Structure 1
Amino acid sequence: MNPVRAGVLAGLTVVASVAAGFGPLAVAAPAGLLLAFVLPGYAITAAMFRREIGMVERSVLVPSLSLAVLVLGGLGLWAAGGHLNRAGWTLLCAVVTLIAIGVAFYRHAKDPEETGRIRFRISQDRLIRDVLPLTLAVLLLAGAGVWSYADSVGTYDIRVSTLSAEPPGPAGADGARTVQISATGLASSAGPWSMVLTGDEGVEISRQAITPDTGGDWTGRLTVPGDERVTVNLFRGGETGAFRTLIIAADAQ
């Protein structure tokens, strides 16, 4: 790495560190992303390779090595008793980047001929080797992102049905307990809904139809035996298998 590039990269690292550590959110966020995912990997790549590397290699190595710095450096910082906070991460990335810049600059100063300036020449071979794979990768990521966004929009309003119970009350003189059961997300179009209680041996204790409110919620109080485990089954429509199930344990007394 020649002196000009080393100076620019070191200055950018210092500015990004100050912005990430002390700046407002609008400035700290992009500076932190640059310091975490770009600068360490770029500096380490320059320190590791003397030969010219392609665009695809660099685009993969830079974020990969930056993530490696975060993972390994974070483990080392934690093992040494440091704090994994804003200041800790900023200092870690800045120090690693500056050290890598120093190594790259030293290697250039030691053998400037071998570590000479990288020349970028557009040729058919480079186009096929670098630009085309990178373009395909970008298109693949863009397609995956569009599909993911469309799927999230399509599934955003899907109802999630739940069945829950409050802790049962104490057993009465007859040994029965009262428990409050709640169900949510019960679409009227999927009804009619019914609730069936069964005991330890699978024997049906009670059955009742439930009618959710306009929001698809239902709450009611049921009486269950205190001396056996009770299974609460929620059925929808004409289905023979329970749609939701919960278990109320027997009274420990």
Structure 2
Amino acid sequence: MTALHVRVLAAATVLAAAGVLAGPAPLAVAGGLLLGFVLPGAALTGALLRGRTLTAVERTLLAPALSLATLVVGGLLVHLCRLPLNRWSWTVATGGIALLALAVQVVLPGPAVAGPPAEEAAPVPAGSWEAAAVAEGRTVVMTVAPHTFEEPADADDKARRIRLVKQLLPLVLVLAVLGGASWLSFGTSRETYETTVTALSAAPSGPVDAAGDRVVAMAASGLVAADGPYTLTVTGAAGTAPIRRIITPGRDGAWSENLTLPGDERVTVNLYRAGDTAAYRTLAISAVE
């Protein structure tokens, strides 16, 4: 990969990341597709296969394959750092790996590609007056020494081991990626299973009394003491909140109470965590017909 290609890929990576993080929806989608399927793989192809001549088909296949591997490895790294898997973390992971691969090509350039073999000098025609001088200049004096046979076993064993390592390395990388993805999936599922879910519910309304009111049994579960005290409000059709309760979660994280509500109004019950201005849970209770 030439220096111009490296600069173009670096600029494309920066622009794609900027589009994902700060651009409108079309630019964010385009930048995300480039960071997910093209740019990291193209950069890694140049970094891992420096000095090798690749065909267009090989580059076309390697770019998306290595880009998908970058997504897996980047997700594992983000998970190890205990960071949320969101737009910022994915963009930094994929863009950072692409820029790091491009930096490797700048700092550690690959071996120069060998040029075409030099042409041999044209033979001097026989009978020329320079033939004797040229023949003398081309004469090579060699000393014949007895040939000693060296045991090539060590060199053959070393070459065989290197070849075996090269053959097993892709398999080891695949197993490492699959193992890391499985570990990430297991850890995520375990954390999700242990997550406390807060629920707000209401039993069917009771009959409407002579005053036009009804009794509704309200209940909440999964309340976390660290998020309390909670506030529960009941808003009627006029937009007022005639009922307001301060709820302190118990050890079991549950709360229940019978509330007297207007029978002919549709009311909205909102549950707020301490310090929140937006409702954490909302429940609508229809009027009794």
TM-score range normalised by the length of the shorter chain: 0.3 to 0.5
Q: Which has the higher contact order (CA 8 A, sep 6+)?
A: 1
Between structure 1 and structure 2, the one with the greater Rg is 2
TM-score (norm 2): 0.41
